[in-house]
Amino acid sequence: MKIAQNTVVSVNYKLSDAQNNLIEDGAQPMVYLHGGYENTLPKIEEELDGKDVGYTSTIQIEPEDAFGDYDPNLVKVEERNRLPEPIEVGMQFEGVAEGSDEEPVIFTVTEIADDKVVLDGNHPLAGMALRFDLSVIDVRAATPEEIAHGHVHGAHGHDHGHDDMEDGEPGDHFRSQPLQ
Ligand SMILES: [Zn+2]
């Protein structure tokens, strides 16, 4: 079956930066619903559209087509006592960026000093060109329910609640939109 709108695609992938430094050696294949559901990066869908099992490709995606340019305005320093304890580098919080009205942003703790904490609202892959080695391993028709929900169900045989979008489907971290 060829990859088209409303097919579920399983892809083995390896993610590197433009200098070929490995970022992620996809131990699990990415499984996503094809056809503009923002389950994965549009450039990946573009590359795979019309292809079949066995297709392999390496593509480089520039920041503007991936997670955007790094925005220094999204870095802020907070008083440590305004944040919950214990706090560790790598923890994430949802917040609102200064100057932007409502759009919630995920902030990652990148540095902790005695009484200050640095929060970075950029996506961890912002500002980076991303190189994907892709290898299509499975293509199937999506179920009507998957199409209605706009995402894949049961990739690993688990059930998930309708509004449970945080159950970590394998393709989720390449969503162009942050999870709600
Ligand atoms: Zn669902």
Residue 170 has pLDDT above 50, yes or no: no
* Cα 2 to averaged position of ligand 1 atoms, centre (Å): 23
How many other C-beta atoms can be found within 10 angstroms of the C-beta atom of residue 23?
14
pLDDT at 17 over 90: yes
Please report which confidence band the pLDDT of residue 159 belongs to, taking 50, 70 and 90 as the band edges: low
Residue 50 has pLDDT above 50, yes or no: yes
Q: What is the pTM of this model?
A: 0.74
Look at residue 158 and tell me whether its pLDDT is greater than 90: no
Neighbours of ion ligand 1 (CB under 5 A): 149
Compute, in angstroms, the gap from residue 89 CA to the centroid of ligand 1: 32
How far away, in angstroms, is 163 Cα from ligand 1 center? Answer: 7
Task: Kindly tell me if the per-residue pLDDT of 162 is higher than 80.
Answer: no
Say whether pLDDT at 163 is over 60: no
* 97 Cα–ligand 1 center, Å: 29
Classify domain 72-120 by CATH architecture. Beta Barrel (2.40)
**Percentage of residues of the chain with pLDDT beyond 70:** 82
Tell me the pLDDT band of 57, cut-offs 50, 70 and 90: very high
- Between residues 131 and 86, which one has the greater pLDDT? 131
Beta-strand runs (E) in 122-169:
130-141
* Cα separation values, 142 from 6, 37, 88, Å: 6, 12, 40
Mean pLDDT of 148-169: 61
Dig out the tokens for 88 from the structure.
């560790």
The C-alpha atoms of residue 64 and residue 96 are separated, in whole angstroms, by 22
How remote is the CA of residue 30 from the centroid of ligand 1, in Å? 17
Q: How remote is the CA of residue 74 from the centroid of ligand 1, in Å?
A: 31
Q: H/E element holding 42?
A: helix 42-48
Q: What mean pLDDT comes out for the span 113-120? A: 92
**Where does the chain hold its CATH 3.10.50.40 domain(s)?**
7-66+127-174
Question: What is the topology classification, in CATH, of domain 7-66+127-174?
Answer: Chitinase A; domain 3 (3.10.50)
Give per-residue pLDDT as tens, 80-96. 988 888 899 999 888 77
Q: Where in the chain is the domain with CATH 2.40.10.330?
A: 72-120
Å from CA of 164 to ligand 1 middle:
7
Residue range 61-81, pLDDT digits in tens: 999 999 999 999 989 999 998
Q: Which residue has the higher pLDDT, 158 or 49?
A: 49
